[in-house]
Amino acid sequence: MSAPVILVTGAAKRIGAEISRHLHQLGYRLVLHYYKSETAAQALQQELNARTPDSVLLICQDLVQLEQLPSMAERAVNCFGQLDGVINNASSFYPTPFASSTPAQWQDLMSTNAAAPYFLSQALLPALRSSQGSIVNIVDIHAEKGLQDHLLYSMAKNALATLTRGLANELAPNIRVNGIAPGAILWPAHNLSEQQKQHVLSSIPMGRLGQAHEIAETVAFLLAGPTYLTGQIIALDGGRSCRGLSEA
């Protein structure tokens, strides 16, 4: 049998690239989505294809252009003639203080974090049904209560969490849908002071940042099974989300 094929959105850098490397090492063929990070995406493709020739292909798409997602889905399926899973990892993330947030920021954050996973999953439905595939959504521990100065982002991730549970119900038993809610995994692209970093670390019972490979390993677990597992969102946060229980 040919190796299963997985589409990873936002695959060129950071967590997306780590997910891609780990899945490729496990024997998956990959369709890697990128938008602005062409150089990084091509470098990752060359790196992985050097290990297993013709196992990785690229797709460029602006996920904010929702009407173009059916075409993207068709291109993804045509890459290898099948699709066995999709990892909705692509995400815009930046502060949007309530007093100054804009409709353009709303559209960008809601599109990349919630609407694109919705409509991309919809467009990929026939292929995923055919393969009895799996959807894994990268959510966020801040989806429930929100992150200060990131309300639009938090709202979008909350919508993604709802999508994860709702689709699991609607698409069972043929397609499984699960999510991962990372905590502090990588420091954000904008610089934090040492005091800010220590404040974050002090809130994590494990006392450290998570590692990108730990998200990748959890993605692989959700793709492979157990096949009775669906509709779940795993908080991968070093115990941060249950910190209050030990203090009560």
- Rounded CA-CA distance 58/12 in Å is 10
Each domain of the chain, given as residue ranges in start order, spans: 5-247
Q: Partners of 57 in the beta sheet?
A: 31
Tens-digit pLDDT profile for residues 184-203: 887 666 667 778 778 888 88
Rg (CA), the chain: 18
Give me the pLDDT at residue 191, please: 67
Check residue 2 and report its DSSP letter: P
**Above 80 in pLDDT, residue 209?**
yes
What mean pLDDT do residues 175-190 have? 84
**Above 80 in pLDDT, residue 243?**
no
Give me the pLDDT at residue 109, please: 97
DSSP string computed for 30-91: EEEEESS-HHHHHHHHHHHHHHSTT-EEEEE--TT-GGGHHHHHHHHHHHHT---EEEE---
Which of the four pLDDT bands, split at 50, 70 and 90, describes residue 248?
very low
245 vs 124, more confident:
124
Give me the pLDDT at residue 189, please: 61
Give me the pLDDT at residue 167, please: 98
Tens-digit pLDDT profile for residues 41-93: 999 999 999 999 999 999 999 999 999 999 999 999 999 999 999 999 999 99
CB 247 within 8 A of CB 192: no
3-state secondary structure of 159: helix
Q: Crossing angle, helix 69-80 and helix 116-123, to 10 degrees?
A: 50
Give me the pLDDT at residue 55, please: 97
For domain 5-247, give the CATH superfamily: NAD(P)-binding Rossmann-like Domain (3.40.50.720)
Is residue 153 among the annotated active site residues?
yes
Residue type, 41: A
Which among 35, 118, 153, 228 is annotated as catalytic? 153
Give me the pLDDT at residue 147, please: 84
Average of per-residue pLDDT values in the chain? 93
Give me the pLDDT at residue 67, please: 98
147 vs 179, more confident:
179
Give me the pLDDT at residue 245, please: 45
What mean pLDDT do residues 215-228 have? 96
What mean pLDDT do residues 5-14 have? 97
**Above 90 in pLDDT, residue 112?**
yes
200 vs 123, more confident:
123
- Rounded CA-CA distance 120/103 in Å is 23
